[in-house]
Amino acid sequence: MADSAQTFDLDAYLKRIGWEGERRPDTDTLRAVHLAHLRAVPFENLDPVSGTAPSLDLGDLTAKLVHSRRGGYCYEHNTLFAAALRALGFRVTLLAARVVVGAERIEDRPRTHMALLVEVPGDPQPYLADVGFGAIGSLLEPVPLTADTEFHDAGRRHRLVHVPHRGPLEMWVLQAHRGIGTGAGAGADAGWEAQYAFTTEPFEQPDYEVINWHIATNPRSPFSRRPYVQRLLPGRHLLLDGNRLTETRADGTVTERELTGEAEARRVVEEDFDIAVPAGLTLLDG
């Protein structure tokens, strides 16, 4: 990926996400492009569901996520986003994180999530960026790599904390606030929930080739067994997990329903998520 700034089609990417601002490597641009990407390109795992490990080649990602009505999961989104940021003049380090939502211990989860550490020219503070975390607790805008400070990113609330571990580098944990307006339900205040843990050790693209193949093809991986699709819309978040469709509104209201069958699932994915379902793919078993 070292030459991605020279080969990446930045014009097509910015058109895809609908961003027309000045192309400056500053914090305002970083935040704006991050949010625009999330609102334009859905999260989906339809290739793994079909039995295929998606390509992380930049040309293939551009064809799929930029020029087609498709999305992807973390390795696809953040590989593409890293290329765009580098083309805009940012320095990007690839990170590998342990998704810890629902885990009792950080060590119980492998490093399977790609996140990004972004350096802004002239700013001594690096930023955690991530357009590929398929969860309601995901970042909407990058946040400074600063511990014990609450950040309000486009209506969501996050913070980073340190936790003890045995390694030589500090272990960071991204937490999302699951209270009013963040998807916990109207009138609820469930406090902070850990999303993923990471160190700032650099990872390289070949590392993700291996992780991507494992997550896409392992029969025990949740991404290979059922569709998992999400889309960020103004004032609401849509999630399809198997046959269950969940809508979370900005005020915390959550509605859920089960889809009735394959025809409805295809219609929802095509129309509500704006994703072209690959030919021959069956979304729901039975």
Q: Which residues are catalytic?
A: 74, 113, 130
- The confidence score (pLDDT) of residue 5 equals 46
Instruction: Calculate what percentage of the chain has a pLDDT beyond 70.
Output: 93
- Predicted TM-score (pTM) of the model is 0.93
**Which string of DSSP letters, residue by residue, matches 58-83?**
HHHHIIIIITSS--B-HHHHHHHHHH
Q: pLDDT tens digit string along 145-196?
A: 999 999 999 989 999 999 999 999 999 999 999 864 443 343 345 799 999 9
Residue 21 has pLDDT above 70, yes or no: yes
| CA atoms 18, 23, 26, 28: torsion sign | negative
The token pair that represents 273 in the structure block: 């998520």
**DSSP one-letter code for 249:** E
Q: pLDDT tens digit string along 30-75?
A: 999 999 999 999 999 999 999 999 999 999 999 999 999 999 999 9
- Determine the average pLDDT of the residues in 225-238: 95
Mean pLDDT over the full length of the chain:
93
